[in-house]
Amino acid sequence: MFKVLLLCDYSRTPERRLLQGLFNYANEQGGWDFIPVPFFSWNNTRKSNEIIELAKSMNVDAIFGRWEKINLRAVKKLGIPVITWISGKIYPSLPMLIGEYQNFGKMAAQFFLRQHYTSFAFLGYKSIFWSEERMKGFFCALPDDNYHQSFLRIEKSHQDWNGVRKWLESLKKPAALMVAHDILAVPLIRICKELGLDIPEDIAIIGVDNDEFLCTLSSPALTSIDLNFEKQGYELGRVLWKMHTEERVWPARIPLEPLELVERSSTKPFNIANRYTLRIVKKMDEEYAKPYSLDYYLADIPLSRRSIEKKFKAELGPETPLSYLTKHRIHHLCRLLSTTDMPISEAAEKSGFIDIPNLSRLFKKYTGMSPSAYRKKKH
What pLDDT is attached to residue 89? 67
Decide: residue 300, CB within 10 A, 0-12 exposed, 13-18 middle, 19+ buried. exposed
Using CA of residue 332, residue 336, residue 342, residue 344, what is the dihedral sign?
positive
Note the pLDDT tens digit of each residue in 164-219. Answer: 999 999 999 999 999 999 999 999 999 999 999 999 889 999 999 999 899 998 88
Is 330's pLDDT higher than 70? Answer: yes
Out of 44-48, 70-74, 253-257, the most confident range is 253-257
pLDDT-derived band at 45, boundaries 50, 70, 90: very low
> In terms of CATH, what superfamily is 275-378?
Homeodomain-like (1.10.10.60)
Question: CB-based contacts of 257: which residues, under 8 Å, 6+ apart?
Answer: 99, 100, 103, 227, 228, 231, 232, 378
CA–CA gap between residue 305 and residue 327 (Å, rounded): 21
Q: Which residue has the higher pLDDT, 319 or 24?
A: 24
The DSSP secondary-structure symbol of 122 reads E
Question: CB-based contacts of 208: which residues, under 8 Å, 6+ apart?
Answer: 104, 108, 134, 178, 179, 180, 181, 182, 224, 225, 227
94: Cα separation from own chain's centroid:
24
Domain boundaries, the chain: 2-99+229-259, 101-227, 275-378
- Strand order of the β-sheet with 119-125 is 148-154, 119-125, 175-179, 203-208, 223-227, 258-262
Residues 312-334: b if buried by 16+ CB within 10 A, e if exposed? beebbeebebeebbbebbbbbbb
The percent of residues above 70 in pLDDT, for the chain, comes to 93
CA distance readout (Å), 168 to 142, 197, 239, 313, 335: 21, 9, 43, 31, 32
Is 46's pLDDT higher than 60? Answer: no
Strand extents, DSSP E, the chain:
2-7, 32-37, 62-65, 82-84, 96-99, 119-125, 148-154, 175-179, 203-208, 223-227, 253-256, 258-262
Instruction: Determine if residue 94 is left, alpha or beta; phi over 0 gives left, psi from -120 to 50 gives alpha, anything else beta.
Output: beta
Q: Do domains 2-99+229-259 and 101-227 have the same CATH topology?
A: yes
CA–CA gap between residue 214 and residue 221 (Å, rounded): 9
Does domain 2-99+229-259 fall under CATH 3.40.50.2300? My reply is: yes
What pLDDT is attached to residue 137? 96
3-state secondary structure of 4: strand
Phi, psi of 6 (to 5 degrees): -110, 125
Architecture of domain 101-227: 3-Layer(aba) Sandwich (3.40)
Is 64's pLDDT higher than 80? Answer: yes
Note the pLDDT tens digit of each residue in 115-173. Answer: 888 899 999 999 888 999 999 999 999 988 889 999 999 998 777 899 999 999 999 99
Element housing 375 (H / E): helix 371-378
How large is the average pLDDT for residues 244-266? 82
Given a contact cutoff of 8 angstroms between Cβ atoms, the answer to whether 58 and 5 are in contact is: yes
What pLDDT is attached to residue 40? 55
What pLDDT is attached to residue 43? 46
What pLDDT is attached to residue 22? 95
* C-beta atoms surrounding 246 within 10 Å: 10
What pLDDT is attached to residue 211? 93
Note the pLDDT tens digit of each residue in 266-315. Answer: 997 666 777 788 788 878 878 888 888 878 877 778 878 888 788 887 77
Phi, psi of 124 (to 5 degrees): -150, -160
Round the average pLDDT of the chain to a whole number and report it.
86
